[in-house]
Structure 1
């Protein structure tokens, strides 16, 4: 059986079985929330961009907050890959810490880059939206640390990982580097030099930080 790989929100949405009006509302909301923010976007604007009525939006989403959650939840749930068998099969091909880190950084950056609109929305709302923060915390604490412990185990088998690096620290280090790069590439493009070179630099920085 092929792994159920979530690559991008738009691709996932395209293949989801749902009414056209609901799908159109989600696509429109992604674009508007990303451009003008959740608070700066009205359901009237979403309805106009989607080519549907406000009644259609509220038929599928009771509130604008429900619409927001329908956008960010799938991306949050898949930030730590659900296709773990495929992911760890690829990790097993590498024997050294540098090789593993370069694979992880590249794989997760491709996910972030493919979902840049939703990631941008998520970053903005994490600062002010209590429900989004709670949802993210719940997802991380309930399901994904099993995935993270497996990934940490793979890094430890190299014998090159610092003893004081745990799963949470690994997420902060790798996620922080990718997040900063994403911000730079969209808001200060003069600071970036191209994905290939910059991902190599990010990987090298992570390796220096977590190596013995």
Structure 2
């Protein structure tokens, strides 16, 4: 079963020692961000859902952005390494380049769909917050694990990767294909033939692009 980022965060928060009002604000914000997105949620709505005053929210968080960051940072620090390790364990079990591509496309698509709002929030933070970009870079290479190098090593061990494809190209190709498909499924569903058929098509396209 794919991990649900917000559920993981809720479980983590339950065991954290912090003022009741602060915890209530975080839980309410997490639920509202999940339901209506960051832009569609106001601090007034968070306060109402949490059963606290808006002044209490601003006592702990100067802005709505700070409130969101208080959710995002623990997710990245506590859960990202486990998600990363599980992902690479799955890659290591694939023997050929087509098998590897199929696993990545299927696994990451279901991860994104299972955590759509959380991924959207994380992506927005990555684009607008330098602190978050630095944190992601640090975690990608935490505990002696270099995400880009490991990904490249896995593809190169198949002996089927084109010599002119580097890790930056790999990431652009996978991210571009998957995000385009997720956007299409959300905003242009008429273009979608069927999840299984479309993921197979994406897999084949990537294999043709990066294999010798």
Same fold (TM over 0.5): yes
Q: Deviations over 1:100-156 (max 9, x none)?
A: 1111122222221121112233445666x3x2xx24532454342612211210111
Q: How does 1:1-212 map to 2 (within 5 A)?
A: 7-16=3-12, 17-18=15-16, 21-33=21-33, 35=36, 37-38=38-39, 41-74=41-74, 82-123=82-123, 129=128, 131=129, 134-144=130-140, 146-212=146-212
Shift of the 79–44 alpha-carbon distance from structure 1 to 2, 3 Å rule, reads: same
Q: Distance in 1 between matches of 2:207 and 2:4?
A: 27
Distance 1:176 1:79, change over 3 A: farther
User: Unpaired runs of 5+ in structure 2?
Assistant: none
Shift of 1:97: 0.2
Between 1:74-83 and 1:5-14, the stretch displaced more is 74-83
Partner of 1:62: helix, strand, or coil?
A: coil
Q: Alpha-carbon deviation of 1:9?
A: 1.9
Deviation string, structure 1 residues 136-181 (Cα, Å, up to 9, x no partner)? 5324543426122112101111111111222222221111111111
CA RMSD of superposed structures (Å): 3.0
- The TM-score normalised by the length of structure 2 is 0.78
Once the 2 structures are TM-superposed, how far is the Cα of residue 23 of structure 1 from its aligned partner?
4.5
Structure 1 residues 27 and 185: CA distance shift in structure 2, 3 A: farther
Q: Shift of residue 31 of structure 1?
A: 5.0
For these two proteins, the number of residue pairs brought into alignment is 203
TM-score of the superposition, structure 1-length normalised?
0.78
